[in-house]
Chains A and B, each alone.
Chain A
Amino acid sequence: MATKLRARRHRRVSPTSESRLAQWTLIGLSLLFMGVILVLPLYAVFHEALAKGIGTFFAAFAEPDAQAAIRLTLLVAAIAVPLNVIFGLAASWAIAKFEFKGKAFLITLIDLPFSVSPVISGLVYVLLFGAGSFLGPFLKSYGIEVLFALPGIVLATIFVTFPFVARELIPLMQDQGTGDEEAALSLGANGWQTFFRVTLPNIKWGLLYGVLLCNARAMGEFGAVAVVSGKIRGQTTTMPLQVEMLYNEYNATAAFALASLLALLALVTLVLKSALEWRFGDEVAAAER
């Protein structure tokens, strides 16, 4: 009996494991695909950026236009991400903890920016605040420029990135229910105490995750911003726009230098995310659906 069992174990590790050939074919295919689609382009970015030596690479960042683009990108993210955190928290709180009519509709609406082309998201603001609209000239008479200026870029970025935080938090908060909040209230805590001491700690990993994704997208957004920015060099060009402009001017090294900075941002986001998952694996796993 015992020898029989051992013999069987030798032949197959488990009933769900495939043969060696199938395993290696699948692994090989995935690696090949990732190599061609992801690693190779990433390598190309850094290779091209450093092609004319490290000096030229850093010279690209010394350009006043490049610096202005980096500053603008950081500023836009610094405004859009906190606003989306507040919006995401409010929306997911409302959806997870209350019952109201039109809840399903609100959830669908939150997903809208995912399904709408970013170019259209930009055009919406052109229609709203453009010269032919009602709002544009009205705000202009008070000296507020929306289109081809910072407010427009920020608005477009918020629109494109607002699902990230909410999408991350809604399933998490729905899953956690209202038990902890009720417990805190029954112990005498007021609304703010309950939020800061109970709700927020319960969702912190999901929130951080959402913020990371939101930030990466806010800094990298191209389509929507391109429509509303007007691409005034040194004033309304963000990093992705600057990359495109430099590239169109055949200034490949500078374009790829700036692009490498964006790629680096993506890599940092990924590393941070993995580090969080590794360090707080259980909590993050619990925080996901």
Chain B
Amino acid sequence: MEVRVANVRKEFDRFPALHDVSLDIRSGELIALLGPSGSGKTTLLRLIAGLEMPTAGKIFFGDTDASEKTVQERNIGFVFQHYALFRHMTILENISFGLKVRPRSTRPPAGEIRRRAMELLDLVQLSGLEKRYPNQLSGGQRQRVALARALAIEPGVLLLDEPFGALDAQVRRELRKWLREIHDRTGHTTVFVTHDQEEALELSDRLCVMSQGKIEQVGSPDEVYDHPTSPFVFGFIGDSSELPVTIENGEVWVGGRAIGIPAHDTPTGPARLYFRPHDADLIEADASMAGVVTASRRVGGTRRVELEVGGDGHKVEIDLPFDHPAGEKTRLSFRPKRWKLFPAA
């Protein structure tokens, strides 16, 4: 099902949590709401679910206006960060809950409920654990039960609030892959909230980067990583280096020297230059940036060095081959091969 968020604003006690947010979620896609804490991503998810009501604006499920509908009427599946499994019920009872509480007219017969719950237990690979209680399962298993419980009511939209936030790194990676598989198999429109960019980039079809109650950028992982449209997105997604520069004569200047980067589209004056550490090339030319190494550490197959550039103590990071001899106080000249300029705010 398509979900359309139209000009939604949300205030808590006059404190604005979301300002005028609009977002189109396509049918069947897996979309991530990504942002630091306080960015409003969870609030947006809870508004879609109907666990919060917007101060202004509307939310559409397909063509119907869902803004005034209660959470029960919206037919959504919600997965909580801390599972929220019913601790006094067995795993099977947890999964069947959504079907058992239906009014008699729409409730499937008991045998059918059981059959469907067992099927879902199989889908989340927990067959044989139906008689256990939640506190007898590991965190990863509990979250899978929570997902099965949400899927049992055949929701139009599946909403996950930091589903892997309480799990350790290993389990997190496994579940991530597994969630993608489940999504591809069931085809639910899925929205999940995360603050982990790696998770968002790996898992989602599209991601929606949020900051301070606003949407910064929406796009595929490649688009967002390669073409960030704001300094925030550049800094938040992936590693980045950032430097204050000056634009003059259609060129970028650092510390009184042109560094060989054209800047025809950026207005003359102060600006900020962003690039990825792995996009920096060492070059021997006058038109380059020069810096002195202040720190160096091994990161996987490369060496990441911190350079002090210009006279003002600004530091940037670039990646070198791991066997590069640069040590502390070594002077290096480099120029990024891909970059982005933003006018200074």
Do the two chains belong together in a single complex? Answer: yes
| Given A186-B71, A187-B98; A198-B51 close (CB under 8 Å) | no
Expressed in whole angstroms, the minimum distance between the Cβ of A282 and any Cβ of chain B is 8
Contact pattern, A 60-92, Cβ under 8 Å of B = 1, otherwise 0: 000000000000000000000000000000000
* Other-chain residue from B82, B87, B101 in contact with A197 (beta carbon distance below 8 A): B101
Expressed in whole angstroms, the minimum distance between the Cβ of B110 and any Cβ of chain A is 16
Decide: B97 and A184 in contact? CB cutoff 8 A: yes
How many residues of B sit at the interface, in one of the four size bands? 20 to 34
Interface residues of A in 171-213 (CB under 8 A from B): 179-180, 182-190, 193, 197-198, 201-202
Contacts of A180 in B (CB 8 A): 84, 86
Q: Decide if B80 is an interface residue (CB 8 Å cutoff).
A: yes
* Other-chain residue from A182, A188, A201 in contact with B101 (beta carbon distance below 8 A): A188
Tell me whether chain A's interface is mostly helix, strand or loop, or mixed. helix
Expressed in whole angstroms, the minimum distance between the Cβ of B40 and any Cβ of chain A is 18
Contacts of A201 in B (CB 8 A): 86, 88
Contact pattern, B 76-101, Cβ under 8 Å of A = 1, otherwise 0: 11101010111110000000011001
* Other-chain residue from A179, A185, A187 in contact with B149 (beta carbon distance below 8 A): A187
Decide: B153 and A182 in contact? CB cutoff 8 A: no
* Other-chain residue from B51, B72, B78 in contact with A190 (beta carbon distance below 8 A): B72
**Whose C-beta in chain A lies nearest to the C-beta of B13?**
A99
Inter-chain CB contacts under 8 Å: number? 60
Expressed in whole angstroms, the minimum distance between the Cβ of B74 and any Cβ of chain A is 9
Q: Decide if B329 is an interface residue (CB 8 Å cutoff).
A: no
Q: Decide if B280 is an interface residue (CB 8 Å cutoff).
A: no
Q: How far, in angstroms, from A179 to B85 measured CA to CA in the complex? A: 9
Q: Decide if B264 is an interface residue (CB 8 Å cutoff).
A: no
* Other-chain residue from B72, B86, B102, B152 in contact with A198 (beta carbon distance below 8 A): B86
* Other-chain residue from A182, A189, A190, A197 in contact with B84 (beta carbon distance below 8 A): A182
Decide: A188 and B98 in contact? CB cutoff 8 A: yes
Q: How far, in angstroms, from A179 to B42 measured CA to CA in the complex? A: 14
Expressed in whole angstroms, the minimum distance between the Cβ of B284 and any Cβ of chain A is 59
Expressed in whole angstroms, the minimum distance between the Cβ of A104 and any Cβ of chain B is 16
Decide: A187 and B101 in contact? CB cutoff 8 A: yes
**Whose C-beta in chain A lies nearest to the C-beta of B74?**
A186
Expressed in whole angstroms, the minimum distance between the Cβ of A147 and any Cβ of chain B is 45
**Whose C-beta in chain A lies nearest to the C-beta of B75?**
A188
Q: How far, in angstroms, from A183 to B82 measured CA to CA in the complex? A: 11
Q: How far, in angstroms, from A184 to B102 measured CA to CA in the complex? A: 12
Q: Which one of B80, B88, B146 has the greatest number of beta carbons of chain A within 10 Å?
A: B88
Expressed in whole angstroms, the minimum distance between the Cβ of A175 and any Cβ of chain B is 13
Q: How far, in angstroms, from A198 to B86 measured CA to CA in the complex? A: 7
Contact pattern, B 307-344, Cβ under 8 Å of A = 1, otherwise 0: 00000000000000000000000000000000000000
Decide: B80 and A182 in contact? CB cutoff 8 A: yes
Q: How far, in angstroms, from A188 to B49 measured CA to CA in the complex? A: 12
Q: How far, in angstroms, from A193 to B100 measured CA to CA in the complex? A: 10
Contacts of A193 in B (CB 8 A): 101
**Whose C-beta in chain A lies nearest to the C-beta of B50?**
A186
Expressed in whole angstroms, the minimum distance between the Cβ of A8 and any Cβ of chain B is 36
Q: How far, in angstroms, from A253 to B82 measured CA to CA in the complex? A: 60
Contacts of A183 in B (CB 8 A): 78, 80, 84-86, 146, 149
Decide: B78 and A186 in contact? CB cutoff 8 A: yes
Expressed in whole angstroms, the minimum distance between the Cβ of A192 and any Cβ of chain B is 10
Q: How far, in angstroms, from A202 to B88 measured CA to CA in the complex? A: 7
Q: How far, in angstroms, from A183 to B84 measured CA to CA in the complex? A: 6
Contact pattern, A 106-137, Cβ under 8 Å of B = 1, otherwise 0: 00000000000000000000000000000000
Q: How far, in angstroms, from A277 to B77 measured CA to CA in the complex? A: 37
Decide: A188 and B72 in contact? CB cutoff 8 A: yes
Q: How far, in angstroms, from A179 to B162 measured CA to CA in the complex? A: 14
16 more contacts with CB within 8 A, not counting A179-B82, A185-B51, A186-B77, are: A179-B80, A179-B84, A180-B84, A182-B71, A183-B85, A185-B71, A187-B98, A187-B101, A187-B150, A187-B153, A189-B72, A189-B101, A193-B101, A201-B86, A201-B88, A202-B87
